[in-house]
């Protein structure tokens, strides 16, 4: 029997009383047109209304009811057929799996996906096939430590510096013990360039692509200079030189690397070396603080623009690290700074290199636009 309407009482005159009657009723419903004084559901039309005045609304209402019924029937039939084709029970009758195992299997499948090889040249990152990584400012300090760390991870390094001899020395260190196994993938290379000059960065990336037959998958910009002076006595030339290397140079390298990666369709990682001074400032370093703060903003804007191309951009904010730049600081000032560091010591370039290696790897594949502090807790 067909279910009766709730509320008791007798069913309407249009309600089917048996399955056979119901089938015949719906067949007539599909083939017939509504009489002049009622719609397909049997609703009476007031006699005061004209015959043709109500015809259009009634037919529209009936048509919508028919289309809705057909849609529900088709959807149910599709689910049922799909389940039978798979040799399983219909979708609605299957046991639902708990959410936890589903998420776990999804994570496992994603981690099992092989990551592309890194390509490095002045900036580290994994992308297309052969590793190649260009690193600006690789002649000493943090840049050299990053080059050594990435080469240890299997990257082919293109060491770039204003001092050609310093870049060559870095490459010589990379060709130490254990480099024989990398011979088949290509040798490290040294390049001399001034990143503050317009066109120099683009020419550098062209040289790297010519040497390694592909753009770098990882690019690291670590070139930086200081011209410390109190604001009241700072010259315009001192301001311009610091911003030209630290900020404009980073912009030019980032732009050239991004253009090469996007045009080749490769993914990549761009890592800029900023400074904690760009976040908190420092005495006698108005120009340096401004340039490094600009690098942080540049990194975030680039991350927003290049994310859709599969290119990540992050920056590292070192604290007081033992480098040629900090060696110029008087010992009294160094001792005072060390007392401010919760970990009780100055950092070493390898501390920064470890963070750069992480940002260059696929382990940080969902990190972009970040500013990672390597300060030993200073200024937190």
C-alpha 185/C-alpha 357 separation (Å) is 19
Do 311 and 268 meet the contact criterion of CB atoms below 8 Å apart?
Answer: yes
Q: What is residue 53's predicted lDDT score, i.e. its pLDDT? A: 52
Do 269 and 360 meet the contact criterion of CB atoms below 8 Å apart?
Answer: yes
C-alpha 114/C-alpha 218 separation (Å) is 18
Tell me 285's DSSP state. B
Helices (H) and strands (E) in the chain, counts: 12, 8
How many residues are there in the chain? Answer: 380
Helix (H) / strand (E) containing 80: helix 55-85
Beta bridge partners, 157, equal 133
Tell me 37's DSSP state. T
Q: What is residue 127's predicted lDDT score, i.e. its pLDDT? A: 32
Q: How far apart are the first and last CA of the chain?
A: 75
The residues spanned by each domain of the chain are 19-93, 121-374
Q: What is residue 50's predicted lDDT score, i.e. its pLDDT? A: 53
Q: What are phi and psi of 132, to 5 degrees?
A: -160, 130
By the 10 Å C-beta count (0-12 exposed, 13-18 middle, 19+ buried), 324 is classed as: exposed
Q: What is residue 174's predicted lDDT score, i.e. its pLDDT? A: 85
Q: Which residues contact 330 (CB under 8 A, 6 or more apart)?
A: none
Written as six digits, the tokens of 41 are 């559901």
Q: What is residue 121's predicted lDDT score, i.e. its pLDDT? A: 40
Q: What is residue 109's predicted lDDT score, i.e. its pLDDT? A: 36
Written as six digits, the tokens of 375 are 């300060």
The predicted model scores a pTM of 0.64
Indicate the angle between helix axes 249-264 and 286-306, nearest 10 degrees.
10
Q: What is residue 213's predicted lDDT score, i.e. its pLDDT? A: 81
Selected from 3.40.50.1220, 3.40.50.720, 3.10.20.30, 3.90.1170.50, the CATH number assigned to the domain covering 121-374 reads: 3.40.50.720
Tell me 96's DSSP state. P
C-alpha 351/C-alpha 142 separation (Å) is 9
C-alpha 365/C-alpha 76 separation (Å) is 41
pLDDT in tens, the chain (380 residues): 445 445 555 555 555 555 555 556 655 655 555 555 554 455 555 555 555 555 556 566 667 777 777 776 776 666 666 555 545 444 444 444 444 444 333 333 333 333 333 334 443 333 333 344 556 656 678 989 999 999 888 888 888 888 888 888 888 888 765 444 443 445 888 888 899 998 898 998 888 888 888 888 999 998 889 999 999 999 999 999 999 999 999 999 999 999 999 999 999 999 999 999 999 999 999 999 999 999 999 999 999 999 999 999 999 999 999 887 777 788 888 889 899 999 999 999 999 999 999 999 999 999 999 999 999 999 88
Query: Three-class SS of residue 325?
Result: coil
Q: What is residue 355's predicted lDDT score, i.e. its pLDDT? A: 97
Query: Three-class SS of residue 291?
Result: helix
288 is catalytic: yes
Token pair 């991870």 is found at 153
Among residues 40, 133, 212, 288, which one is catalytic?
288
Helix (H) / strand (E) containing 141: helix 141-152
**Parallel/antiparallel/unpaired status of strands 189-192 and 133-136:** unpaired
Query: Three-class SS of residue 320?
Result: coil
C-alpha 220/C-alpha 158 separation (Å) is 10
Q: Which of 322, 371, 331 is nearest to 350 (CA)?
A: 322
C-alpha 89/C-alpha 85 separation (Å) is 10
């Amino acid at each position: 029997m067909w279910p009766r309407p709730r509320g008791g009482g007798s069913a309407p005159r249009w309600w089917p009383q048996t399955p056979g009657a119901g089938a015949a009723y719906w067949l007539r419903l599909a083939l017939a047109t509504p009489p002049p004084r009622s719609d397909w559901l049997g609703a009476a039309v007031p006699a005061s209304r004209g015959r043709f005045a109500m015809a259009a609304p009634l037919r529209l209402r009936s048509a919508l009811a028919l289309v809705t019924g057909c849609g529900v029937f088709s959807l149910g039939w599709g689910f049922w057929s799909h389940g039978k084709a798979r040799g399983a029970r219909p979708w609605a009758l299957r046991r639902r799996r708990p959410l936890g195992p589903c998420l776990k299997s999804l994570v496992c499948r994603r981690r099992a996906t092989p990551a592309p090889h890194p390509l490095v040249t002045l900036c580290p990152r994994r992308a297309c096939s052969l590793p190649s990584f260009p690193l600006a400012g690789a002649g000493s300090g943090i840049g050299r430590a990053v080059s050594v760390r990435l080469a240890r991870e299997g990257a082919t390094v293109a060491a770039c510096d204003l001092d050609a001899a310093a870049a060559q020395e870095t490459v010589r260190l990379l060709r130490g013990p254990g480099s024989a196994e990398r011979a088949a993938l290509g040798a490290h290379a040294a390049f001399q360039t001034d990143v503050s000059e317009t066109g120099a960065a683009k020419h550098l990336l062209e040289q790297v692509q010519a040497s390694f037959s592909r753009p770098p998958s990882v690019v690291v910009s670590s070139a930086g200079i200081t011209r410390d002076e109190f604001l009241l006595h700072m010259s315009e030339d001192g301001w311009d030189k610091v911003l030209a290397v630290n900020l404009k140079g980073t912009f030019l390298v980032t732009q050239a690397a991004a253009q090469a990666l996007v045009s080749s369709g490769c993914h990549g990682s761009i890592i800029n070396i900023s400074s904690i001074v760009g976040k908190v400032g420092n005495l006698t370093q108005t120009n340096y603080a401004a340039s490094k703060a600009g690098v942080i903003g540049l990194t975030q804007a680039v991350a927003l623009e290049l994310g859709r191309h599969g290119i990540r951009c992050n920056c590292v904010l070192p604290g007081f690290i033992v480098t040629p730049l900090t060696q110029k600081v008087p010992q009294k000032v160094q001792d005072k700074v060390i007392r401010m560091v919760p970990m009780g010591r100055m950092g070493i370039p390898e501390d920064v290199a470890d963070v750069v290696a992480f940002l260059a790897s696929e382990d940080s594949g969902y990190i972009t636009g970040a500013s990672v502090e390597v300060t030993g807790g200073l200024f937190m």
